[in-house]
Amino acid sequence: MVCMVGAWPPPALCLKDDEDVALRSFLGILPLVAVLLLASGCTSEVEEMPIQRIAFGSCAFQWSEQPIFHAVVASEPDIYLSLGDAIYGDFDGQDVLDVTPESLRAEWQKLADHPDWQHLVAHVPVVDGTWDNHDYGHHAAGAEFPLKDISKEIFLDFFGEPAGSERRRHPGIYDAEIRGPEGRRLQIILLDTRTFKSPALLAERPEGAGGSLGKFAPNRDPAATLLGVVQWTWLAEQLRQPAELRLIASSGQVVANEKGMDEWGNYPLERQRLFDLIAESRAAGVVILSGNAHFAEISTIEVGTTRIVDITSSGLTHVNETYAKAPNGHRSAGPFADLNFGLVEVDWDAEDGPIVRLAIGDVDGNLVIEYEGRIDEFGSHHGG
C-alpha cells in the first residue's frame, strides 16, 4: 500500500541568509534524530493513529468526467481503495480494443492526467486498490491472459508500489496490510480475482442460466479457481493475523450470486471456500468490499455463527439500472442505481464497543444507503 501525500525534498524556500543557514543546520541533523528515535523505540505517532474512514469505488471511464471523486474527498477518508475497472483498457466507449502494453500504459496515463483523479490523490493520504477485468486488460481474461505480467507492472507502477516489494515479487497483485495501534487495528486485504482465474462457464442460453441477466453459469468443477493455490494459502495466513477490523476487497460481488455476471457465484465452490475459511479462522470484524455490478447494495449471509456482510459500490462514472433490478436473496439494503462510492467508518470510542458504519454516497456526498453494527457483529461471532 502506498502513501501519496507528497515528495521529499520539498520545494525551495525563500529565506534570508541567516534563516537559510539555521534551516540547513536543522535538516542536517534530521537523520541522526531519526536514528535516536528508532533506537529508543519512539516512533512517529502518526503511524499508530487508528484509521477511522475508508472510501472505495469501482468502474470509471477514464475519458469521462469524474465528479464523484470530489464527493469522496469531501468525506475526508484516510484511505481510498479502487476495487477494479479504474480504467477500461480494452474499450473506448464504442468498440472493444486489441490491448497492447503501449495501449495499456496510455490509458493509465489518461487517468493519471485526469484532473478529478488528481484531486483525489492530492487530498487522500493513501490510495491503493486491486483490478477487475477491464483494467487487467481484457473483459473475459483470467490466468491465460498473455499480458498479465506486463499489466501487473503497469498497474503497480501507477499506484506507486515500491520496487522490490513483496507484492512485486509474487505472481498477481494481492496484498495485505495492518494499520493502527493494538486494539484498533485495521487489516486491509486486497484480493486478486483475475491472475489465477479459471475460464468461466458460459450458460447454454444467451440470456444466462436460470433466467439470470449475465452470460455465465455456475462452474462446479472442483479444479476451477478464482484465487489459485498460492493466494488461498496466503489468505488463510492473513486471516489469522491479529486485527480488530478486516476489510476484504474483491473486484466482484461475493455474497450476491444470482446475476450470472462476473461474481463469485460463478465459482460456487470457491465462494463457499471463502465463507468456510472466514468461519474456520474465527476472524472477527470481517467486512467484504466489492465492485463491478454497476450499482450499489449491501448483502449479508449467515454461515453458522459467522455473519458475512458484503457492501458493493460500483458506478463512479456510469451505472446500469437493469442490473440493479436483478434478484438478490441476500440483499439487506439498496439497490442504488446512480453514481456512487462506498464508505466504511469506525467509531473506536463508542461506549459499548467499536461501531462500524457502512454507507453508499452519491455524487453530491449524500449517504443513500447506511448499515451499522458493533464490530463484533461482523465476521466470526466467536471473536478473534
Per-residue model confidence as pLDDT tens digits over 71-83: 999 999 999 999 9
Over residues 272-331, the pLDDT tens digits come to 999 999 999 999 999 999 999 999 999 999 999 999 999 999 999 999 999 999 999 999
Look up the pTM and report it.
0.87
Give the DSSP per-residue string, 218-279: ----TT--SSHHHHHHHHHHHTTS--SEEEEEESSBSS---S-SSBGGGSHHHHHHHHHHHH
65-95 as b/e: b if 16+ CB within 10 A: ebebbebbbebebbbbbbbbbbbbbbbeeee
**Residues above pLDDT 70, as percent of the chain:** 84
DSSP-assigned letters across all residues of 116-127: HHHHHHHH-SEE
Q: Where are the domains of the chain?
A: 52-380
Q: Which residue has the cell 479462522?
A: 281
Is residue 323 a contact partner of residue 261, using CB atoms and an 8 Å limit? yes
- pLDDT value at position 212? 58
Fold adopted by 52-380: Purple Acid Phosphatase; chain A, domain 2 (3.60.21)
Q: What is the pLDDT of residue 210?
A: 55
pLDDT of residue 1: 58
The tens digit of pLDDT for each residue in 119-175 reads 999 999 999 999 999 999 999 999 999 999 999 999 999 999 999 999 999 999 999
Cβ–Cβ under 8 Å, residues 87 and 110:
yes
